[in-house]
Structure 1
C-alpha cells in the first residue's frame, strides 16, 4: 500500500478515525512520540500493529483514552493512587497499569491480565480517540528496536507501505515515551519505565514511589514484563552505540583513541566548542536531551555513522529516562572512564 500523510484538519481527522473504526492502523502524534494507533478492543487490528512494527506479540501495548469517563471501559479495577496521579498528570506523559477489562483482548495486553492506560495531552491524539469512539492501542510508530519517531517524517521512513496513513501533528514536545507505573499496594507506586513524569514529581501526590531494578538491567527473552520498553534491544540506530561515563576531558582523550571512518560522538551542547572529532550534540539539559535523543540517533544513521560514543546523561529526574533509553540502545555496552592515580 501507499502510506498517505494526512493533515490534522477536519478531513484528515475524519479519514484517520474511519480507518481506526474499520480495523486499520494509523500513525498518530502524541506529546511523547508518534504511535501506531489501532482499536484496542479489536484483536485483528492489534495484530496489524505488531506486523507493521515487526514486534513480538508478548510485549504489551499501552491503551489511550481521551477522558476519565472512558477509564472504566478498559480497566475493571482502579487502584487507589490512580485518581491522585490522574488529577496531577493527565492528560500527559504518564501510563498507569491496572487490571484490564474483559473487552481488552490478550493481544493488546501481551497476554497479561493488566493493561497500561494513558490519556495523551496532544490535541490531535485526543481528537482522534474521540472521533474513533474506541480506546486506542498505540505503541511507538517505529520498526521494532529502532529509535522511536518524534516527527511524521520519521514514521513515514519506517512505515511507508506498512500502514495506510499518518496524521502529521508536528514535532513531539517530550521526545521520549511516557513514564510507566504499576501499583504494589494502595500506597506504593512502582516506576517500570522512566519518562518526563519523574519520581520526584509523583512523590508530591502519593505516599511512596520506588524505581524498579529492571530499569537498570537487561531483561531475559523468556521473562514476562508488564511495561513496553523493558524487553529486547530497544531504541537502537543501525550504528553501534556505546555509552561513555566520565568527565569531558577524559571523553575527548578517549575519542582520540577511537578515531576511524564512521566513528562519531554524541555530546552535550557545552562540550561542542572544544571538541575536535566528528560529533552531534543532544542538548544541554536532561529535558533537552530527552527531546532530541531519538532524532539525533536517526540523523547519525543518515550521515553514515558506524559507531557512536555517547556521553552519559544524568541519572536522576528526566535524566534517568534518557539514561534508560541509552543503555538499551547500547545493548548495555558502557565504558567507565576514570583518571589515572
Structure 2
C-alpha cells in the first residue's frame, strides 16, 4: 500500500489515476469520508471493491464524477431537477439516483437499472477525477472500510482497515474529511410516480433540496431503489453502541461505573467521569465532523459499551441521528444486560 502525503502532489495524483486505469483500488479523500475507488467502467475492478470490503453484491456503490462531466455518459432519462440540483450543490455532498445509461455496467448498481452519481468537493478528489481518463471516467467509490464498519475520515483509518490484506494499491492522504458523514442521497428515478425521495439524510437537508426544485423529498418507501449505506445496521464499531438522552445518560454512566463496567462516552454536555470519553462540539456540523473518529477511538479503548449522548431531534441533526441509529442497531438491551449481570 502506497500512501501519498497530505496535499497530494501531481506525481501522486497521476500515479493514482494510472493505478485506477489498470484496475487497481485507490483510496482517496472526499469532503464526506474517504472512498475506496475503482474504475466504474471495469466490472472486474468494481468486483475487487466488493471483495475487499466484504460487501454484498446487491448493495450499490456511488459513481464519482469530475466537475463538468456529462451526466448522460452514466445516466439516462435525466430530469431537469437533476441538472438544477447539480448546479446548486456540485461539487458537494449530494448523491442523485437516476436511471442507469445503456452500457454502464450493472455491477455499480447492485444489478438495478438505476445509478448513484455525485461530484465530490475535496480538491484531491477533484484532481484525481480530472486526471483519471482525462476527466471523462467515473470512479466507483463506497467508503474505504470493511462493510458495515465505521466509515474512515482520515488516511490512517483506511490503513487501519486495509494495510494487512494488500487489497488497496494506494491511499491519497488529504487530511481529515470536512463533513465527516456520507452524502445525502436523493432518488430522482421515479419522479413521475413518487416525486423526489430522500434515501439517506446528510449535510444537505431535504429543505435545501426543496428550495432548489420546489418539491420536498418524501421519505424512503419500500419500492425505492437500494442505495449505499441504507441498511438498518451500518456505520458500527465492534463495541456495542447505545444512545440515551442527556439526563438519563448521566445516571446510566454513574450506575455502570459503580458496577465496575468500562464505559466509553461520546457526549457534548457535562457528564460524569468514565473509562474513556470524548466531548464533541454541540453544533451539528462540528459533531458530524468528529463523530466517526470518535467512534473509532472509543472502539479501541477497551470499553464494554460506547454510550452516546443523543443529539437533538431537529432537522439540522437528521444526518447525525441517522448514522447513530444505524450504529446502535442490534444493541437494544445492552445497558440493562450490563447492569443486571450476576457475578458467578
Question: Does TM, normalized by the shorter one, top 0.5?
Answer: yes
Q: Is contact 1:243–1:333 with CA below 8 Å preserved after alignment? A: no
Paired residues of 2:262 and 2:274 also in contact (CA < 8 A): no
Q: SS of 1:205's equivalent? A: helix
Match of 1:168 in 2: 173
Partner of 1:319: 317
Match of 1:239 in 2: 239
User: Relative to structure 1, is the Cα distance of residues 224 and 185 closer, same or farther in structure 2, using a 3 angstrom cutoff?
Assistant: closer
Equivalent residue, structure 2, for 1:30: 30
What is the CA distance between 1:281 and its match in structure 2?
1.7
Counterparts of 2:184 and 2:63, CA distance in 1: 14
1:256-284 CA distance string (max 9 Å, x none): 2222332122111x325xx3334222321
User: 1:136-183: per-residue Cα shift (whole Å, max 9, x none)?
Assistant: 100000111111000001001101122111011111100000000012
Between the aligned partners of 1:328 and 1:132, the Cα distance in structure 2 is 34
User: Partner residue of 1:61?
Assistant: 61
SS in 2 for 1:55: coil
Looking at structure 1, the residues matched to 16 and 209 of structure 2 have their Cα atoms a distance apart, in angstroms, of: 34
Q: Does 114-123 or 282-291 show the bigger shift?
A: 282-291
Which one of 274, 278, 281 corresponds to residue 280 of structure 1?
Answer: 278
Q: Does 1:92 align with 2:92?
A: yes
Report the 3-state secondary structure (helix = DSSP H, G, I; strand = E; otherwise coil) of the residue aligned with 1:117.
strand
Is the contact between residue 6 and residue 165 of structure 1 (CA under 8 Å) also seen in structure 2? yes
CA distance in structure 2 between the aligned counterparts of 1:42 and 1:250, rounded to whole angstroms: 51
Q: Report the counterpart of residue 338 of structure 1 in structure 2.
A: none
**Secondary structure of 1:28's match?**
strand
Match of 1:205 in 2: 212
1:150 counterpart residue number: 153
Report what 1:118 is aligned to: 118
The 3 A distance-change label for structure 1 pair 102 and 316 is: farther
Alignment of 1:1-341 (within 5 A): 3-7=1-5, 8-133=8-133, 134-160=137-163, 161-183=166-188, 184-185=190-191, 188-213=195-220, 225-231=225-231, 233-244=233-244, 246=245, 248-259=246-257, 260-268=260-268, 270-272=269-271, 275-278=272-275, 279-331=277-329, 333=331
Question: Take 1:212 and 1:75, find their aligned partners in 2: how far apart are those partners?
Answer: 23
How far, CA to CA, are the matches of 1:25 and 1:318 in structure 2? 34
- Aligned 8 A contact 1:225 1:231 in 2: no
Deviation sequence 1:203-241 (CA, Å, 0-9, x none): 211122234256xxxx9xxx9852111125211111100
* 2:341 aligned partner: none
Any idea what SS the aligned residue of 1:139 has? coil
CA RMSD of aligned residues (A): 2.0
Moved more, 81-90 or 91-100: 81-90
Alignment match, 2:338: none
**Equivalent position SS for 1:49:** helix
Secondary structure of the residue aligned to 1:68 is coil
Name structure 2 gaps, 5 residues minimum. Answer: 334-344
CA displacement at 1:107 relative to structure 2: 1.1
C-alpha change, 1:71 and 1:81, in structure 2 (3 Å) is same
CA distance in 2, matches of 1:37, 1:237: 22
How far does the alpha carbon of each residue in 1:290-318 deviate from its partner, in whole angstroms, 9 at most, with x for none?
11110000001222222011111123334
d(CA) in 1 for partners of 2:330 and 2:85?
32
Looking at structure 2, the residues matched to 286 and 68 of structure 1 have their Cα atoms a distance apart, in angstroms, of 30
Residue-pair matches, total: 322
Identify if the C-alpha distance between structure 1 residues 212 and 332 changes in structure 2 by more than 3 Å, giving closer, same or farther: farther
The runs of 5 or more residues in structure 1 that have no matched partner are 336-341
